[in-house]
Amino acid sequence: MIDGRQRKNIQIDSFVEIVQKSHQRTGELTKGIVAKLLTKSIHHPHGIKVLLASGFVGRVKNVIE
């Protein structure tokens, strides 16, 4: 799996695992396809924030190849 803290590792239509804000305490992961990148910076220590095609928003923990 690829690190989700670098923006260069994530493209539209990438299959990823995210942590939603409401699941940060439990660390529950949600899988989906990236519809939009929301973080503008090239790096974020907690993961790049994305919008999934399913409508969920969260920070990328893993990019699944």
Q: Where along the chain do its domains lie? A: 2-64
Average pLDDT over residues 24-47: 96
Task: Record the pTM.
Answer: 0.92
The residues pairing with 57 across neighbouring beta strands, listed in sequence order, are: 51
The pLDDT, as a whole number, for residue 50 is: 98
Record the tokens describing residue 16, joined without a space.
């990823």
Contact 51, 61 (CB under 8 A): no
**Strand 57-64 versus strand 2-3 pairing type:** antiparallel
Q: Supply the DSSP symbol for 41.
A: S
Pick the CATH number of 2-64 from 3.20.14, 1.20.120, 2.60.40, 2.30.30: 2.30.30
Q: What is the mean pLDDT of residues 7-26?
A: 96
Query: Strand 2-3 and strand 15-20: pairing?
Result: unpaired
What gap in Å lies between CA 44 and CA 22, rounded to an integer?
19
